[in-house]
Structure 1
Amino acid sequence: MPTSFDICAEVVAGSAAWLGRGLSCVCAQRRESDARPSFDLTPAQEECLQRLQYRIDVQYDSSNVEHQEALRALWNASFPEEELRGLISEQWKEMGWQGKDPSTDFRGGGFISLENLLYFARNFPKSFQDLLRKQEGDRALWEYPFAVAGVNITFMLIQMLDLEAVKPRNLVGATFLKFLAENESAFDLLYCITFKLMDNQWLAMHASYMDFNVCSLNFDNF
């Protein structure tokens, strides 16, 4: 019987599959030992980690033209049939932002959380649309807010992989750097897989909006 990780790796198939399988094995090993890994970063790993940390440190800036364009691009990828009336608009609530100004929701995840959503929309449009429009499974009347969930997933992955440290202090983070050195999109790919896994968990729980804070995904569920 396929595991949830196998299913999700198939949904975001191709280059994402190797990442999903690899981290799934690592997380199984982590349950057998709580010891902190002892390792040195290779020059390639250190360089890739520093570039990723630079992305993590960038806060969303509503006055930054690049950030504005990324937000517009996210809307166009999400609702190509509907013209956006403005960066501050009631329309954003359709996507699962808490209010009419999405910039207020980026505080927890920074600009990289917008980049993650945009990467998902552009590279795996079918899976993205399925999640955005809640097209799979037996859904509750009140569903989780899609966009806010996406920002939360970015924040959760950064913390779980210990990506703000000089070097990760856990096995999952240490192993992730090996994947990152092979593919600089590894964090974005892992984000896509994790979003799908979160949705699978949501459906398995028969959850509704009131369960949103409870339904947080961690690698122990893989």
Structure 2
Amino acid sequence: MIVFNLWSVLQWYLRPFIKWFLRKTTKLCELQRICYGDKPGAERTRNVEKSLMQSRTRDVKEVVAYLDGVVYERRFIPRYFRDILDPSIGIILRVKKINPKLHSTFVVSFRRCLEQIWSYRSLVDQVELLRQTQYDSTNDDHEDKLLKLWSLLVPDTPLEARVTKQWQHIGFQGDDPKTDFRGMGLLGLENLLYFATEYPQVSSHVLSHSLHPKYGYTYAIVGINITSMAYYLLKDGSAKTYMFNAKQNLPNVNLFHKFYCYLFYEFDKMWIESKPANIMEFSDIFKKFENAVRIELADPASVFRINVEVDNV
């Protein structure tokens, strides 16, 4: 720990000299070297973010604070990007003495990085709001979503009542699912519903595994545990690899839901492959799964897709 702290202090003092030396020898600033040298996606965007966060230049710090403020005001949305980002990019170009006509490709790459970085921060804010919103059985919208979840997962069996033991069939603990959403709030329901809506065959496939006589588990409760895992991966920044490598999308709630679906499907696969003796092995297998996901996310080149494999378990 002492060695690590000493190295951190050395880096803090040596960083300006190293940047100056590289600027003199390459004729490019750090941001240019990143945008020209790193692969697009997580590798480039994370390094741009690190460079901006570590900058000691007042104007750069003000740009970062301004963009954070826009996120706080919940105005960082695509239709406002031009008005928000053009002045910010202009300041960076001026401060770093970058000619946009000579370095037009840098401007394009840098803009994409800014869109990803602050879309991610905006996503964290949106997900946090969903998590803090508690399920309310007097809210018609909440109730409609819960009933839709049932109809999607068990289309051939109508509910006998709103409060019924039937909910245990899809993995809730008691007669009323609302009590199971306390930890993750509405986010847990939104995740489960997205999985059943957007990936009906996959979610049904996973549900069938949860009902297995030997390897079964509580589908909804496990799903809410997966929500918790996805939430903390998002909060601590680990999910940036997934979000920044999604070439066709900027970080948004739908992309978070897709990340959740990937995690749920992959956990189910690991669970079945592990052939657990009973549900008491859940904690160990879940921890093993999370560690595997974190290792994969640590590689900036990782790309995550749901690859459906139908089996006869």
Greater Cα shift, 174-183 or 188-197: 174-183
Q: CA deviation at 1:140?
A: 5.7
* Cα contact 1:74–1:117 (8 A) shared by 2: yes
Letter matched to residue 226 of structure 2: I
Q: Deviations over 1:98-149 (max 9, x none)?
A: 111111111122111111111110111000000111189xx56251111100
Match of 1:209 among 261, 279, 290: 279
Q: Distance in 1 between matches of 2:126 and 2:252?
A: 13
2:155 aligned residue: 80
* Cα contact 1:68–1:87 (8 A) shared by 2: no
1:146 aligns with 2:216: no
Letter matched to residue 77 of structure 1: L
Q: Distance in 1 between matches of 2:253 and 2:233?
A: 18
Q: Distance in 2 between matches of 1:96 and 1:135?
A: 8
1:198 aligns with 2:267: yes
Q: Distance in 2 between matches of 1:199 and 1:174?
A: 23
1:127 aligns with 2:196: no
Letter matched to residue 157 of structure 1: A
Which structure shows the bigger proportion of residues in helix conformation? 2
Q: Distance in 2 between matches of 1:79 and 1:184?
A: 26
Q: How high is the TM-score relative to the length of structure 2?
A: 0.52
1:9 aligned residue: none
SS at match of 2:217: coil
Q: CA deviation at 1:49?
A: 3.2
Letter matched to residue 250 of structure 2: A
SS at match of 1:81: coil
SS at match of 1:202: helix
- Structure-2 change in CA distance of 1:176 and 1:55 (3 Å): farther
Structure of higher CA gyration radius: 2
**Structure 2 portions without partners, runs of 5+:** 1-40, 43-49, 54-63, 69-113, 297-313
2:254 aligned residue: 185
Letter matched to residue 147 of structure 2: R
1:111 aligns with 2:111: no
Q: CA deviation at 1:44?
A: 3.6
**Structure 1 portions without partners, runs of 5+:** 1-24, 27-36, 163-167
- Structure-2 change in CA distance of 1:74 and 1:193 (3 Å): same
List, as ranges, runs of 4+ consecutive aligned residues in structure 1 with deviation greater than 3 Å: 37-49, 173-180
Q: Identity rate of aligned residues, in percent?
A: 30
Q: Distance in 2 between matches of 1:116 and 1:48?
A: 15
Q: Distance in 1 between matches of 2:154 and 2:124?
A: 33
Match of 1:50 among 120, 125, 130: 125
Q: How high is the TM-score relative to the length of structure 1?
A: 0.71
Q: Deviations over 1:165-213 (max 9, x none)?
A: xxx4x4x244455457355411100111000111111122111322122
* Cα contact 1:140–1:206 (8 A) shared by 2: no
* Cα contact 1:161–1:176 (8 A) shared by 2: no
Q: CA deviation at 1:87?
A: 2.2
CA RMSD of superposed structures (Å): 2.9
- Structure-2 change in CA distance of 1:63 and 1:111 (3 Å): same
Q: CA deviation at 1:48?
A: 3.4
1:157 aligned residue: 230
* Cα contact 2:132–2:184 (8 A) shared by 1: no
Counting matched residue pairs gives: 182
- Structure-2 change in CA distance of 1:161 and 1:135 (3 Å): closer
* Cα contact 1:58–1:111 (8 A) shared by 2: yes
Q: CA deviation at 1:221?
A: 6.2
